[in-house]
Structure 1
């Protein structure tokens, strides 16, 4: 099969392209100029709004996996963050989808975010929950989802939307990467008494799910939530990271309420929520409809993560 992956030079994109190529598929990758090459990948440096080149690139493509986008920013310095997110995550996404439909692409797979459901919960999110995006990044993803469903109805091109929670893996960006570096350096962290529950998804599990969404007939015109199928606290995650690294996680048992109070005083409430709050994901529909099971446990995923990052 012939697959076009946008954002092929990113954290998820590189892993997906490498796996597809290993399966013997023909893979085209849209990348930013200067991105590191991937052996065997037909890399195409281009902006998503380059309509003539995109139309040429889409010729003969059966499946598009759309990963390109403006990532969540912990310290966003844009004058209007929502406008910046909308321009890339919504408007550019819909432009690519429209051209894919015109080119006769069979299926468009959009990687959204669990943030569309919300930032925290007291029970696991499901696909039937009312969306509640609380930040500009998640709102732009939700708006893109709505536009994509409209394109699907107008054109008949099959659509699959996947909402993953935090993705971890070798050299992962964001909070996971920062926490891992702190554990590796032996820096004491005041996170030894956190009893929240959070769903994560390892990069290998997410790539496996995306490929199932490309291939499985039942994936057409469906929304799926992604995850490892295990929920764990921030404290347990950090201990797992330390175990996978072969290093002790130096965790100080500070009450979560005290940490939240301090974070609020310092203007770091959003960061504290990601470390202290709960966010669980119900992947039962994903597993049942696609006959899918995450191939790796969290423990196995963390071990693979740090084996490959050495």
Structure 2
């Protein structure tokens, strides 16, 4: 029996590239990398040009069994577009739906959409995690666009023979991570004192390896069809716990100062950084029991191991840059 052909959009990105490498390693699928620029995957598997903004240049999907759609206009902290929601909709809703329609017309069996926990909302009360079947409550343009894309895909699944799987990860970290997580690594590596020692929150994260493992499970598992899932490491951490674990992974001292949360939020508001402070101080937990109950899936990589892998990659990258 021929291997299922799996096209991964956004294959040059953080999640897409790691997914392709995993599929090549497993040798159970024949991956096709769809990327907007040349990647290190060139020569390892078929690579086709793909840009969500240019549907005319999209590759033919005939013969593809599964599409894993990781490409997106991603959430940014300092949005510059005058109409951010319109920009997100153009790529994350309209682009996604066009790709999915082409997939259905080409006979693609399953379309896996990497959405976001932001569809559920921005925060939870401690001990009251989001579940995959909660009423969505997106609050920013990125979250709204992902929710609208989910709704469009569910409608398409009802109208065609193509199955749809929706996966909503929280913050994804791992080797090569960027943005705020990379900033934390830099602060901890320099042993910068951080005023975050008195925060008592709980946050779910997902290691890149765990997210990729879950996506691979969803490629073929029959029970994943037309389901929505949340995914995490299965262990929630407070901000101080996260910083202490990362510092340990870097073999550094964490220098956490116990400032009151209200003071942190007040100063952040004055500096125009209220959204950042809310994420650092607030809770966001997800319940992944559905993943085990329906698919028999549990996270294969511990948080500590994933953080050590992330720290080692960060340190090796620093050495290369200094050489």
User: In the TM superposition, what are the counterparts of 1:108-257 in structure 2 within 5 Å?
Assistant: 108-122=111-125, 123-257=128-262
1:64 matched to 2:72? The reply is: no
Alignment counterpart, residue 277 of structure 1, candidates 277, 282, 297: 282
Shift of 1:306: 2.1
1:75 matched to 2:81? The reply is: no
Deviates further, 178-187 or 285-294: 178-187
TM-score of the superposition, structure 1-length normalised? Answer: 0.96
Shift of 1:129: 1.2
SS of the aligned residue for 1:198 comes to coil
1:107 matched to 2:115? The reply is: no
Distance in structure 2 (CA, Å) of the matches to 1:287 and 1:28: 28
Distance in structure 2 (CA, Å) of the matches to 1:229 and 1:47: 34
* 1:183-212 Cα shifts (integer Å, max 9, x gaps): 112222111121100000000000000000
Distance in structure 2 (CA, Å) of the matches to 1:50 and 1:59: 19
SS of the aligned residue for 1:232 comes to coil
Distance in structure 2 (CA, Å) of the matches to 1:39 and 1:252: 49
SS of the aligned residue for 1:201 comes to strand
Shift of 1:283: 0.3
* 1:246-276 Cα shifts (integer Å, max 9, x gaps): 1112221111111011111112111111110
- Contact 1:49–1:95 (Cα < 8 Å) also in 2: no
Alignment counterpart, residue 96 of structure 1, candidates 87, 96, 99: 99
- Contact 1:229–1:283 (Cα < 8 Å) also in 2: yes
TM-score of the superposition, structure 2-length normalised? Answer: 0.92
SS of the aligned residue for 1:140 comes to helix
* Number of positions where the alignment pairs a residue of Structure 1 with one of Structure 2: 309
Distance in structure 2 (CA, Å) of the matches to 1:46 and 1:109: 17
Q: CA RMSD in A?
A: 1.4
Shift of 1:36: 4.4
Distance in structure 1 (CA, Å) of the matches to 2:6 and 2:193: 45
SS of the aligned residue for 2:124 comes to coil
- Contact 1:165–1:199 (Cα < 8 Å) also in 2: yes
Shift of 1:50: 4.5
* Unpaired segments ≥5 residues, structure 2: 317-323
* 1:30-72 Cα shifts (integer Å, max 9, x gaps): 112254445513222232354455352x121100000000110
Alignment counterpart, residue 267 of structure 1, candidates 265, 268, 272: 272
Distance 1:90 1:193, change over 3 A: same
